[in-house]
Protein backbone atom coordinates (compact mmCIF):
# COMPACT_ATOMS: atom_id res chain seq x y z
CA UNK A 1 0.00 0.00 0.00
CA UNK A 2 1.23 3.49 -0.89
CA UNK A 3 -0.17 6.96 -0.33
CA UNK A 4 -0.15 9.44 -3.18
CA UNK A 5 -0.01 13.16 -2.50
CA UNK A 6 -3.58 13.57 -3.67
CA UNK A 7 -4.94 11.03 -1.14
CA UNK A 8 -6.92 12.55 1.67
CA UNK A 9 -5.62 11.14 4.90
CA UNK A 10 -7.52 11.63 8.15
CA UNK A 11 -6.09 10.42 11.46
CA UNK A 12 -7.84 10.08 14.83
CA UNK A 13 -5.64 9.72 17.89
CA UNK A 14 -6.42 8.81 21.50
CA UNK A 15 -4.56 8.56 24.78
CA UNK A 16 -2.56 5.51 23.59
CA UNK A 17 -0.40 7.65 21.29
CA UNK A 18 0.84 9.63 24.29
CA UNK A 19 1.44 6.57 26.51
CA UNK A 20 5.04 6.33 25.31
CA UNK A 21 5.50 9.97 26.30
CA UNK A 22 4.81 8.87 29.87
CA UNK A 23 1.19 10.05 30.09
CA UNK A 24 -1.40 7.69 31.54
CA UNK A 25 -4.26 6.51 29.33
CA UNK A 26 -7.80 6.39 30.71
CA UNK A 27 -8.82 2.75 30.49
CA UNK A 28 -5.63 0.66 30.60
CA UNK A 29 -4.76 -0.95 33.95
CA UNK A 30 -3.57 1.84 36.26
CA UNK A 31 -5.26 4.26 33.82
CA UNK A 32 -6.73 7.56 35.03
CA UNK A 33 -10.23 6.14 35.42
CA UNK A 34 -8.96 3.47 37.77
CA UNK A 35 -7.84 6.12 40.25
CA UNK A 36 -10.59 8.70 39.74
CA UNK A 37 -14.30 8.45 39.09
CA UNK A 38 -15.38 10.15 35.86
CA UNK A 39 -18.42 11.53 37.71
CA UNK A 40 -16.15 13.25 40.25
CA UNK A 41 -13.76 15.05 37.91
CA UNK A 42 -14.96 15.03 34.30
CA UNK A 43 -18.55 16.25 34.15
CA UNK A 44 -20.10 19.74 34.40
CA UNK A 45 -22.01 18.50 37.48
CA UNK A 46 -18.74 17.53 39.17
CA UNK A 47 -17.38 21.03 38.59
CA UNK A 48 -20.55 22.55 39.95
CA UNK A 49 -20.37 20.33 43.07
CA UNK A 50 -16.67 20.45 43.79
CA UNK A 51 -14.59 22.74 41.53
CA UNK A 52 -11.56 22.36 43.81
CA UNK A 53 -11.39 18.61 43.29
CA UNK A 54 -11.80 19.02 39.53
CA UNK A 55 -9.00 21.60 39.46
CA UNK A 56 -6.80 19.35 41.59
CA UNK A 57 -7.16 16.59 38.98
CA UNK A 58 -6.31 18.87 36.04
CA UNK A 59 -3.47 20.62 37.89
CA UNK A 60 -1.85 17.21 38.43
CA UNK A 61 -2.25 16.37 34.79
CA UNK A 62 -0.80 19.74 33.75
CA UNK A 63 2.20 19.12 36.04
CA UNK A 64 2.84 15.76 34.32
CA UNK A 65 2.52 17.42 30.94
CA UNK A 66 5.25 19.96 31.65
CA UNK A 67 7.92 17.29 31.32
CA UNK A 68 6.22 15.16 28.63
CA UNK A 69 7.71 15.24 25.16
CA UNK A 70 6.30 14.02 21.84
CA UNK A 71 7.40 10.45 21.00
CA UNK A 72 8.23 8.83 17.63
CA UNK A 73 4.52 8.29 16.87
CA UNK A 74 3.78 12.01 17.19
CA UNK A 75 6.80 12.91 15.05
CA UNK A 76 5.73 10.38 12.43
CA UNK A 77 2.38 12.16 12.07
CA UNK A 78 4.30 15.40 11.48
CA UNK A 79 6.18 13.56 8.71
CA UNK A 80 2.86 12.41 7.23
CA UNK A 81 1.52 15.97 7.28
CA UNK A 82 4.69 17.20 5.54
CA UNK A 83 4.07 14.56 2.86
CA UNK A 84 0.33 15.04 2.28
CA UNK A 85 0.23 18.72 3.28
CA UNK A 86 -3.32 20.08 3.21
CA UNK A 87 -4.69 16.63 2.34
CA UNK A 88 -3.71 15.55 5.85
CA UNK A 89 -5.95 16.19 8.87
CA UNK A 90 -5.39 15.13 12.43
CA UNK A 91 -8.29 14.80 14.83
CA UNK A 92 -7.28 14.16 18.41
CA UNK A 93 -9.20 13.27 21.54
CA UNK A 94 -6.10 14.16 23.53
CA UNK A 95 -5.89 17.33 25.56
CA UNK A 96 -2.10 17.25 26.01
CA UNK A 97 -1.00 19.48 23.11
CA UNK A 98 1.72 17.00 22.08
CA UNK A 99 0.70 16.97 18.39
CA UNK A 100 1.32 20.73 18.19
CA UNK A 101 4.60 20.27 20.06
CA UNK A 102 5.63 17.70 17.45
CA UNK A 103 5.02 20.29 14.73
CA UNK A 104 1.65 19.29 13.27
CA UNK A 105 -0.47 22.24 12.14
CA UNK A 106 -3.71 20.77 10.91
CA UNK A 107 -4.89 19.49 14.29
CA UNK A 108 -8.47 19.48 15.59
CA UNK A 109 -8.49 19.08 19.37
CA UNK A 110 -12.04 17.76 19.66
CA UNK A 111 -11.87 17.36 23.46
CA UNK A 112 -10.17 20.72 24.04
CA UNK A 113 -6.82 21.27 25.73
CA UNK A 114 -5.42 21.29 29.25
CA UNK A 115 -3.22 24.17 28.16
CA UNK A 116 -6.18 26.55 28.03
CA UNK A 117 -8.98 27.51 30.39
CA UNK A 118 -11.96 29.81 30.19
CA UNK A 119 -14.25 31.78 32.48
CA UNK A 120 -17.59 30.08 33.08
CA UNK A 121 -19.24 33.51 33.37
CA UNK A 122 -17.82 35.70 30.57
CA UNK A 123 -16.12 32.93 28.48
CA UNK A 124 -12.83 34.84 28.35
CA UNK A 125 -9.95 32.47 27.43
CA UNK A 126 -6.63 32.15 29.23
CA UNK A 127 -3.52 30.13 28.48
CA UNK A 128 -2.97 28.01 31.59
CA UNK A 129 0.54 29.43 31.93
CA UNK A 130 -1.06 32.82 32.72
CA UNK A 131 -3.22 31.40 35.49
CA UNK A 132 -2.28 31.32 39.17
CA UNK A 133 -2.49 27.61 39.92
CA UNK A 134 -1.48 28.15 43.55
CA UNK A 135 -5.09 29.13 44.19
CA UNK A 136 -7.46 26.21 44.82
CA UNK A 137 -9.78 27.65 42.14
CA UNK A 138 -8.48 30.30 39.73
CA UNK A 139 -10.77 33.25 38.96
CA UNK A 140 -11.23 35.48 35.91
CA UNK A 141 -9.30 38.77 36.00
CA UNK A 142 -12.09 40.53 34.12
CA UNK A 143 -15.31 39.45 35.82
CA UNK A 144 -14.17 37.35 38.82
CA UNK A 145 -16.05 34.31 37.51
CA UNK A 146 -14.58 30.84 38.07
CA UNK A 147 -12.13 29.57 35.48
CA UNK A 148 -12.40 26.00 34.26
CA UNK A 149 -10.12 23.85 32.10
CA UNK A 150 -11.01 24.07 28.38
CA UNK A 151 -11.59 20.34 28.30
CA UNK A 152 -14.76 18.72 26.95
CA UNK A 153 -16.38 16.74 29.76
CA UNK A 154 -18.82 13.86 29.59
CA UNK A 155 -22.22 15.25 28.69
CA UNK A 156 -20.72 18.15 26.68
CA UNK A 157 -20.49 18.47 22.93
CA UNK A 158 -17.02 18.02 21.43
CA UNK A 159 -15.47 20.76 19.30
CA UNK A 160 -15.21 20.86 15.47
CA UNK A 161 -17.85 18.18 14.80
CA UNK A 162 -19.16 19.73 11.58
CA UNK A 163 -15.69 20.07 10.13
CA UNK A 164 -14.82 16.54 11.23
CA UNK A 165 -17.91 15.13 9.55
CA UNK A 166 -16.91 16.68 6.22
CA UNK A 167 -13.35 15.36 6.57
CA UNK A 168 -14.63 11.85 7.27
CA UNK A 169 -16.90 11.92 4.24
CA UNK A 170 -14.06 12.94 1.94
CA UNK A 171 -11.33 10.72 3.40
CA UNK A 172 -9.54 8.15 1.25
CA UNK A 173 -7.79 6.73 4.33
CA UNK A 174 -8.98 6.98 7.92
CA UNK A 175 -6.44 5.87 10.52
CA UNK A 176 -7.13 5.43 14.23
CA UNK A 177 -4.24 5.28 16.67
CA UNK A 178 -4.25 4.53 20.41
CA UNK A 179 -7.94 4.75 21.18
CA UNK A 180 -10.18 2.16 22.83
CA UNK A 181 -13.17 3.00 20.61
CA UNK A 182 -15.68 3.26 23.43
CA UNK A 183 -16.25 7.01 23.77
CA UNK A 184 -18.70 8.58 21.33
CA UNK A 185 -18.89 10.48 19.07
CA UNK A 186 -15.22 9.72 18.25
CA UNK A 187 -15.85 5.96 18.39
CA UNK A 188 -18.40 6.39 15.56
CA UNK A 189 -15.99 8.10 13.13
CA UNK A 190 -14.79 4.74 11.75
CA UNK A 191 -18.33 3.89 10.71
CA UNK A 192 -18.85 7.23 8.93
CA UNK A 193 -15.50 7.10 7.11
CA UNK A 194 -16.06 3.51 6.02
CA UNK A 195 -19.61 4.20 4.89
CA UNK A 196 -18.34 7.02 2.65
CA UNK A 197 -15.70 4.76 1.13
CA UNK A 198 -12.47 5.30 3.07
CA UNK A 199 -10.06 2.47 3.72
CA UNK A 200 -9.87 2.17 7.51
CA UNK A 201 -6.65 1.42 9.36
CA UNK A 202 -6.03 0.86 13.08
CA UNK A 203 -2.89 0.82 15.22
CA UNK A 204 -3.42 -0.10 18.87
CA UNK A 205 -1.99 -2.20 21.67
CA UNK A 206 -5.24 -4.17 21.86
CA UNK A 207 -8.23 -4.63 19.58
CA UNK A 208 -10.47 -1.60 20.09
CA UNK A 209 -14.23 -1.99 20.66
CA UNK A 210 -14.94 -0.95 17.06
CA UNK A 211 -12.32 -3.32 15.65
CA UNK A 212 -14.86 -4.90 13.26
CA UNK A 213 -14.90 -1.65 11.22
CA UNK A 214 -11.14 -1.68 10.60
CA UNK A 215 -9.89 -2.96 7.23
CA UNK A 216 -6.20 -3.24 8.22
CA UNK A 217 -5.25 -3.61 11.87
CA UNK A 218 -1.71 -3.46 13.31
CA UNK A 219 -1.31 -4.64 16.89
CA UNK A 220 1.47 -2.95 18.85
CA UNK A 221 2.82 0.23 20.34
CA UNK A 222 2.24 3.30 18.20
CA UNK A 223 5.82 4.57 18.68
CA UNK A 224 7.19 1.31 17.31
CA UNK A 225 4.64 0.37 14.65
CA UNK A 226 3.73 3.72 13.10
CA UNK A 227 7.19 4.96 11.98
CA UNK A 228 7.80 1.77 9.96
CA UNK A 229 4.33 1.81 8.43
CA UNK A 230 4.50 5.44 7.38
CA UNK A 231 7.93 4.88 5.80
CA UNK A 232 6.32 2.16 3.66
CA UNK A 233 3.23 4.21 2.88
CA UNK A 234 5.04 7.32 1.67
CA UNK A 235 8.10 5.65 0.17
Task: Let me know: does 177 contact 217? Beta carbons within 8 Å.
Answer: no
Is 160 annotated as catalytic? no
Q: How many CB atoms lie within 10 A of CB 129?
A: 10
Among 3, 26, 57, 189, indicate the residue that binds ligand APR (CB under 6 A).
Answer: 26
Which positions from 91 through 150 interact with ligand APR, judged by CB under 6 A? 93, 111
Q: Is 210 in the site for ligand APR (CB under 6 A)?
A: no
128-135: Cβ within 8 A, 24+ apart: 128/62, 133/59, 133/62
Q: What is the CA radius of gyration of the chain?
A: 18
Query: For ligand APR, how many residues bind (rule: CB under 6 A)?
Result: 22
Q: What is the layout of strands, in order, in the sheet containing 112-119?
A: 125-127, 112-119, 147-151
Q: Answer yes or no whether residue 179 interacts with ligand APR by CB under 6 A.
A: yes
Nearest-approach distance from CB 19 to ligand APR, in angstroms: 4
Stretch that binds ligand APR, among 2-10, 21-29, 49-57, 126-134 (CB under 6 A): 21-29
Pairing outcome for strands 88-92 and 107-109: parallel
Q: Does 23 bind ligand APR (CB under 6 A)?
A: no
**Prior bond of 185 cis (ω within 30°):** yes
SS3 165: helix
Contact between 76 and ligand APR per CB under 6 A: no
In sequence order, the 6+-apart residues with CB closer than 8 A to the CB of 197 are 172
* DSSP secondary structure code for residue 139 in this structure: B
In the list 21, 25, 89, 192, the residue contacting ligand APR (rule: CB under 6 A) is 25
Tell me how far, at minimum, the Cβ of 206 lies from ligand APR, in Å.
Answer: 4
User: Is the Cβ of residue 89 or residue 93 nearer to ligand APR in the bound state?
Assistant: 93
**Distance, CA of 138 to CA of 86 (rounded, Å):** 38
Interface stretch with ligand APR, choices 56-64, 139-147, 177-185, 188-196 (CB under 6 A): 177-185
Using the rule CB under 6 A, give the single segment among 15-23, 126-134, 167-175, 190-198 that binds ligand APR: 15-23
Segment interacting with ligand APR (CB under 6 A) among 19-27, 57-65, 100-108, 130-138: 19-27
Grouping H, G, I as helix, E, B as strand and the rest as coil, residue 173 is strand
Q: So which residues are the catalytic ones?
A: 111
Contacting positions for ligand APR (CB under 6 A): 14-16, 19-20, 25-28, 31, 93, 111, 178-180, 183, 204-206, 208, 221-222
Amino acid sequence: MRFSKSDRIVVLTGAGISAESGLKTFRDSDGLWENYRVEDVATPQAFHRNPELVWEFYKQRYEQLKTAKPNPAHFTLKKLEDFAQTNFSLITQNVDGLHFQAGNNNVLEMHGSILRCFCVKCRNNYPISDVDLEKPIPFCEKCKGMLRPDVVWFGEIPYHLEKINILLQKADYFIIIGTSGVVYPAAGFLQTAKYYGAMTIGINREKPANYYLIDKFYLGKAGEVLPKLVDEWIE
